[in-house]
């Protein structure tokens, strides 16, 4: 359960964090960060269109320590001060290799991939 892994954070009813709580976060920040990222990003990704892309014969996807890529193909057309984007951007695309031969592709705008893919519509 995520709550058990997450260091206790103060609520509006608390007097605040103890030194022990703070030290727990300092010693293992990934516990707090992981649970925050999963609880925030998962519902958004779940609401996007999903396609599984197969690598062409004789090719493979590049995997790494940080294989997930977020791209907004329309960002370049916006003014320099507003080219930022996130999962809430309607044109954002997320690519996540799951093996050297397959990658998961998320997009709000289903059908944005130029090659034929089978979209799972929600």
Do 22 and 72 belong together in one domain?
A: no
Task: Read off the pLDDT band of 116 (50, 70, 90).
Answer: very low
Q: Are 63 and 13 in contact (CB under 8 A)?
A: no
pTM over 0.85: no
Domain coverage including residue 14: 1-46
Do 72 and 57 belong together in one domain?
A: yes
pLDDT (tens digit per residue) in 22-71: 888 888 877 777 777 788 888 888 888 888 888 888 988 877 888 888 88
CA distance 70 to 108: 12
Domain count, the chain: 2
Give the list of residues 6+ apart from residue 115 with CB closer than 8 angstroms, or none.
53
Do 52 and 20 belong together in one domain?
A: no
């Amino acid at each position: 359960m995520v709550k058990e892994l997450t260091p206790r954070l103060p609520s509006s009813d608390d007097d605040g964090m103890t030194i022990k709580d703070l030290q727990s976060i300092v010693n293992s920040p990934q516990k707090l960060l992981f649970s925050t990222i999963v609880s925030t990003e998962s519902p958004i990704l779940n609401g996007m269109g999903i396609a599984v892309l197969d690598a062409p014969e004789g090719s493979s996807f590049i995997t790494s320590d940080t294989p997930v890529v977020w791209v907004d193909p329309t960002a370049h057309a916006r003014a320099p001060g507003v080219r930022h984007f996130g999962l809430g951007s309607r044109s954002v695309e997320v690519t996540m290799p799951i093996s050297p031969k397959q990658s998961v592709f998320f997009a709000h705008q289903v059908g944005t991939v130029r090659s034929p893919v089978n979209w799972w519509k929600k």
